[in-house]
Amino acid sequence: MTEAPAVPSDPKLDRLSWGASVPFLAFHLLVGLVFVTGFRWEWALLAVASYAVRMFAITAGYHRYFSHRSFKTSRLVQFLLAWLAQMSLQKGVLWWAAHHRHHHKYSDTPLDVHSPVRRGFWWSHMGWILSRRYDSTNYDAIKDFSRFPELVWLNEHHLVPAITGGLLAWFFGGLPGLVWAAIVPTVLLWHATFTINSLSHVFGSRRYLTADTSRNNFLLALLTFGEGWHNNHHASQSTAKQGWFWWEVDLTFACLRVLSWFGLVWDLRLPRPEAKDAHLHYTPEQRRQLKAESRFGMHLPQRPVRTPEAQPEVGFENPLYAKR
Ligand SMILES: [Zn+2]
Ligand SMILES: [Zn+2]
């Protein structure tokens, strides 16, 4: 088996983009305003609610719906999911989903946008998103959603939902509103989401022999409402449910289930029994491999991580970053 070709090299593209890095750093510094506003329990609850709504929009919307189409919904609800997710300042909906599809296609190969085992922890956690390499949206990778003009508009004006949210927080809550409903939970959301690109390929156990280094991690699943069952997810990407066993808490799926009772979402895809039970049929050698691969750290499996079918298309240099 051959490996995917090396990433086309132009080291300048890997430098931090000032336009992305300065606001990112500024937001972290602004968290210090909690010492100016002081603490109140109702503000902490506001922060939790702001985190929860937007985490749900990221996991159900950006990830399970726009990237993987693991359930169906109406055009209005899809727009609302995109709007709410974009309030988390993680760039546009089509940008996010196109890059995530690319991650699954090339997971842990040199072409992966955020593989910790290839490019290190900090690159996978936030370096890639702050670099200039991945600025643009590959609309070809997300044709199924870029046919909706309202989503393209939202993607091109990706700051609008967050700015609107920030203004509302300021208008209704003044400085404490802005700090506790917008700034603090946004920074927490960033790092919680980023752990799925970094830590969940480094720290946790592996149940399925996927062609990558994805892991299952209970703590990350709690923080990210179910995304921490990342090895399950890489084993079967298009399921709306990522926690497959009763102890695998998946808050996003529980919420999707409730929404489905009201007809707001439907056709939630569940894991096929043969996918869920695949690990029961592993040989002793495969079980040994899984155990070795579950060791903490950034190491590729001994076996090749890609299969020939999963190789990238031929004849391109860097399709992901083509301008529209
Ligand atoms: Zn992954
Ligand atoms: Zn995914």
Separation of 58 CA from ligand 2 center, angstroms? 11
Question: pLDDT averaged over the chain?
Answer: 89
- The ligand minimizing its distance to the Cα of 237 is 2
The pLDDT of residue 273:
92
Distance (Å, whole) CA 174 – CA 178: 6
Separation of 197 CA from ligand 2 center, angstroms? 10
Phi first, then psi, for residue 114 (nearest 5°) are -145, 65
Tokens 């085992």, located at residue = 117
- The ligand minimizing its distance to the Cα of 216 is 1
Q: Is the pLDDT of residue 181 over 70?
A: yes
- The ligand minimizing its distance to the Cα of 114 is 1
Separation of 106 CA from ligand 2 center, angstroms? 12
197: burial class by Cβ within 10 Å (0-12, 13-18, 19+)?
buried
Separation of 175 CA from ligand 2 center, angstroms? 36
Q: Is the pLDDT of residue 258 over 60?
A: yes
The pLDDT of residue 304:
54
- The ligand minimizing its distance to the Cα of 100 is 2
Separation of 49 CA from ligand 1 center, angstroms? 27
Token pair belonging to 265: 């979402």
Separation of 55 CA from ligand 2 center, angstroms? 15
Is residue 307 very low, low, confident or very high in pLDDT (cuts 50, 70, 90)? very low
Summarised one tens digit per residue, pLDDT across range 14-42 is: 888 898 999 999 999 999 999 999 999 99
Separation of 95 CA from ligand 2 center, angstroms? 14
Separation of 68 CA from ligand 1 center, angstroms? 13
Between 47 and 300, where is the model more confident?
Answer: 47
Separation of 198 CA from ligand 1 center, angstroms? 8
Percent pLDDT > 70 in the chain is 90
The pLDDT of residue 306:
57
Q: Is the pLDDT of residue 319 over 50?
A: no
Separation of 224 CA from ligand 1 center, angstroms? 14
Separation of 63 CA from ligand 1 center, angstroms? 11
Summarised one tens digit per residue, pLDDT across range 95-114 is: 999 999 999 999 988 889 99
Separation of 17 CA from ligand 2 center, angstroms? 26
The pLDDT of residue 140:
93
Token pair belonging to 70: 């693991």
The pLDDT of residue 4:
40
To the question of pTM greater than 0.85 for the whole model, the response is: yes
Q: Beta-carbon neighbour count of residue 17 at 10 Å?
A: 16
- The ligand minimizing its distance to the Cα of 236 is 2
Summarised one tens digit per residue, pLDDT across range 182-217 is: 999 999 999 999 999 999 999 999 999 998 999 999
The pLDDT of residue 297:
80
Separation of 308 CA from ligand 1 center, angstroms? 19
Separation of 240 CA from ligand 2 center, angstroms? 10
- The ligand minimizing its distance to the Cα of 238 is 2
The pLDDT of residue 73:
98
- The ligand minimizing its distance to the Cα of 99 is 2
Separation of 194 CA from ligand 1 center, angstroms? 11
The pLDDT of residue 3:
39
**Alpha helix positions (H), the chain:** 18-30, 34-37, 41-56, 75-86, 93-105, 116-119, 121-122, 128-130, 143-146, 149-156, 160-177, 184-197, 218-223, 230-235, 251-261, 273-276, 284-293
Which DSSP letter does residue 63 get?
Answer: I
Summarised one tens digit per residue, pLDDT across range 47-81 is: 999 999 999 999 999 999 999 999 999 999 999 99
Q: Is the pLDDT of residue 90 over 50?
A: yes
The number of residues in the chain equals 324
Q: Is the pLDDT of residue 320 over 70?
A: no
Separation of 236 CA from ligand 2 center, angstroms? 9
Separation of 230 CA from ligand 1 center, angstroms? 6
Separation of 201 CA from ligand 2 center, angstroms? 13
